[in-house]
Structure 1
Amino acid sequence: MKRSRFGCPWLALLLLSGALPAQAHGSNVQFRTTEAIEIQAQFDSGTPMSEAQVTVYAPDDPATPWLQGITDERGHFTFTPDPARAGNWEVKVRQAGHGDIISVPVGELASETVIAQTHAADSTSAATTAEPTDSTPAATTAEQPALIARADWSGSAYTPLQKWLMAASGLWGFIGTALFFTRRKG
């Protein structure tokens, strides 16, 4: 029985193309700029990161926590940054060894509504009522019910260029593998 030299790579390609995605604990952190900053944190599966620890750092002192709190049961956290401190506010969310950091532009950097997302393997994020570490006031989810109800959490963590590059890399990997196995031995 004669064997086709193309059969084995195509069979391997067919078997590998049906692989399921990895079930890692990734996170998805988004923010929306209004009068307050509202953060939504969830695992890649869509499960909210409830009661995750949140630490907010001001742009002029990134080493000292400006605000600390926890997310609510829906993975939401709302705070009002000091408008006199324009710049990128860093928000760190941690839960059970997973976490993520997101940068939120405030002041001149945030001239329009911004939605940002971050995906990171082995990381999580969340949002909830905050307790300030100094005299800076914080908005609670009870004070901002309309913001949470109207939040528009849309978009993707990857830009179209990144998606195109990932698809092209995968396609080139398939082609390269097929060419490798079909080369003449000699």
Structure 2
Amino acid sequence: MLSAIAKSLFAGLISFLLAGPAMAHGAFVDVAAVDAVGIHARYDTGEPMADAQVAVFAPDALTQPWLVGQTDAEGQFLFTPDDRAGRWAIQVRQAGHGAMGYVELSTEGTAMAITAITASAGLTWAQRLLMLACVLWGAVGTALYFRRAHAGKPA
């Protein structure tokens, strides 16, 4: 029985380590600084988040959207923030999936500078290994529990 469990765990380990970033259906937001702020929202498969809801939050009002809109068919949205300096938050949501993006607006005299703040996407190898260790620990513990429960019963 344990050899079948070991084979299954080994197969799971190999498939987990070789799997690409599209193991789950997540969402990403790419933010680019131009004369305005351009957003490209997409799923982790690369498919654009077409017609997704966009909410832009000003630095001094993070509970009430400053602007609400919708992405186009390619998952893109463009807006020009007003002159409030600080971190602007952009939220994109569609069908239960969503992501956040941020831009930092700084004003020096009459000049305005917009800097995109990128967020990391996907799992690192350390995170994958930690999750794998947790799954293996749970599988071994479950196997030992059932082995102990059946060891005391007569056949």
CA apart distance, 1:179: 7.5
Which structure carries more helix by proportion?
2
User: How has the CA–CA distance of structure 1 residues 96 and 173 changed in structure 2, closer, same or farther, with 3 Å as cutoff?
Assistant: closer
Q: Distance in 2 between matches of 1:167 and 1:36?
A: 37
CA apart distance, 1:31: 0.4
Q: Which residue of structure 2 aligns with residue 62 of structure 1?
A: 62
Q: Distance in 2 between matches of 1:178 and 1:47?
A: 35
Structure 1 counterpart SS, 2:35: coil
State whether residues 34 and 113 of structure 1, in contact with CA within 8 Å, keep that contact through their aligned partners in structure 2: no
Q: Distance in 2 between matches of 1:9 and 1:81?
A: 57
Aligned pairs (5 A) from 1:1-186: 7-17=3-13, 18=15, 24-82=24-82, 84-107=83-106, 113-114=115-116, 116-117=118-119, 157-158=121-122, 163-170=124-131, 172-173=133-134, 176=137
Q: Distance in 1 between matches of 2:87 and 2:105?
A: 6
CA apart distance, 1:39: 0.8
CA apart distance, 1:93: 1.5
Q: Which has the higher contact order (CA 8 A, sep 6+)?
A: 1
User: How has the CA–CA distance of structure 1 residues 88 and 44 changed in structure 2, closer, same or farther, with 3 Å as cutoff?
Assistant: same
Q: Which residue of structure 1 aligns with residue 152 of structure 2?
A: none
Structure 1 counterpart SS, 2:6: helix
Q: Distance in 1 between matches of 2:115 and 2:61?
A: 24
Q: Over residues 7-52 of structure 1, what are the superposed CA-to-partner deviations in whole Å (9 max), with x where a residue is unaligned?
A: 3443122332336788654211110122211111012221111111
CA apart distance, 1:86: 0.9
Q: Distance in 1 between matches of 2:43 and 2:68?
A: 21
Please provide the CA RMSD for this pair: 3.6
State whether residues 56 and 66 of structure 1, in contact with CA within 8 Å, keep that contact through their aligned partners in structure 2: yes
In structure 1, give the amino acid aligned to 2:10: L
Query: Normalized against structure 2, the TM-score is what?
Result: 0.66
State whether residues 116 and 157 of structure 1, in contact with CA within 8 Å, keep that contact through their aligned partners in structure 2: no
Q: Distance in 2 between matches of 1:59 and 1:35?
A: 19
Q: Distance in 1 between matches of 2:64 and 2:9?
A: 52
Equivalent pairs: percent with the same residue?
A: 38
